Amino acid sequence: MPSGDLAVFKELLSKARHDLATPEAFRDNPSLVWEFYHYRRVLVSSKTPNSGHYALMELENLLTSANRNFTLATQNVDGFHSSIGSKNIIELHGNLFKVRCTKCGKVAENHANPICPALAGRGYAYLNALNRNNFVNRKSAWFLDCCYLQYPK
């Protein structure tokens, strides 16, 4: 977590979510978008499911054992519900660890950290970039294409 004023950090993160979590942002600057998601993946990777996740799993088990339907709709993007065994999950805002091929649309789960060498040692530079209205080097951009990671030439 960056040092400094937490309020400024939260404000920049809120702005980043609105500015970077879009197909248009990925089209315009894939490097910056990947850095944004890498930062979020690193944060989530250091966390574990909490008692709320387990309580919902217990409720699911209770209802399904009584032949009742159970669907869990979550705004969480951490994948914790599925990691502890919940089955019928709707991830309203997606999952940080699912990537989509830009060519064929195939979705795959990927927990590699960093997800590609270009992101090694990166963290929250995108917050500084937003603050300076400047973006990271586009030459470090990479994307998922044709069901494998492809790097620019």
Task: Compute the distance between CA of residue 103 and CA of residue 144 in angstroms, rounded to an integer.
Answer: 8
Which residues does residue 70 pair with via DSSP β-bridges, in sequence order? none
Query: Range of 22's domain?
Result: 6-97+119-137
48 domain-assigned: yes
93 a catalytic residue: yes
32 domain-assigned: yes
Task: Compute the distance between CA of residue 52 and CA of residue 137 in angstroms, rounded to an integer.
Answer: 40
Global pTM reads 0.67
Confidence at residue 130, expressed as pLDDT on a 0 to 100 scale: 47
Are the C-beta atoms of residues 73 and 90 closer than 8 Å to each other?
yes
Q: Chunked in runs of 10, what are the mean pLDDT values of the chain (153 residues)?
A: 48 67 82 82 89 96 96 93 95 88 82 79 54 40 41 31
108 domain-assigned: no
Confidence at residue 2, expressed as pLDDT on a 0 to 100 scale: 39
52 domain-assigned: yes
35 domain-assigned: yes
151 domain-assigned: no
**Residue among 18, 53, 81, 93 flagged as catalytic:** 93
Burial class (CB in 10 A: 0-12, 13-18, 19+), 70: middle
Residue 104 in marked binding region: yes
Domain count, the chain: 1
Residue 146 in marked binding region: no
